Structure 1
Amino acid sequence: MNTSSITSREALPRFSSSTNPAESADERYARRLTARLSAGTNDLPHDVAERLRVARTQAVAHRRRPTRQAATLGTSGGAALLGLGQVWWTRLGAVIPLVALVAGLMAISIVQDDDRTSELADVDSALLADDLPPTAYADPGFAQFLKSDATTH
């Protein structure tokens, strides 16, 4: 075997579809990628090809296999704790922005309600403090008086 080239069989163990029908799409993609990367190694100098071979071997040795994270049961101070590792932090990271959004919307609603109440209170106090009685504003003749007064000035 030529040491300056590496084949996809060296990078990843090859299983035919008849021996491993459940081969994942990731495995198939990795095999195609390795074959494409290996295609141009014949043109490279020996030292570069050797470094690539070593790097690929190390990458395959360190690649992560998908594993399910099992729940662990531990005790702390007599209480049983159920730890799920990263799942808990991921869910908390998804919930915190939602809580912040709801709190912000509630704060905006409260401020707007207070402003509207303050505006209505100002109008009511001005109406009651005026020299004219409130019933005068409801009189249809008063509206006519205001229109005629505005045209004369």
Structure 2
Amino acid sequence: MKHLDDQLTQTQADQFGQASAALLRQGAHTIPQNIKDRLYAARMKALSVKKPEKVRIQKQVLAGSGRNWTSGSSSTWDTLGWIAPLVVLVFGLIGIAQWQDDSRINDIAEVDAALLSDDVPPDAYADSGFMAFLKNGPLSESDSPSDTIQSK
């Protein structure tokens, strides 16, 4: 028993279908008109009460995700959707770090320029007596050494 002998080729199936359709057409001509009318009415009634077929649509979605990670179909836009903010964040952090470094360097340069362009030597700023002098301000006229010299 071979199963291949039981199967029809495509050509044989087409020939069988055409022969069956021809026999049905011939049989339809021999059916009385009142039976044809009843068959037509029954067919129309069956079509009118036929329920529409429900179409089932499956869409896999992970909770809290706008993208279906399990589908395996990853487009360029989906990839850019999470890479682009990451790249912007990295470049933003690099820019902020660079700006802070430049700001610190500029502050140090201002202090260095002020110390080097001043008449007072930088060692004087380390002296506690000089710091007290700066806090108290310049000597008043009565305390000036020239008044004590003139009175003698």
TM-score, normalising length: structure 1: 0.44
Normalized per residue, the structure richer in helix is 2
- Give the strand-richer structure, 1 or 2: 1
RCO higher in structure (CA 8 A, sep ≥6): 1
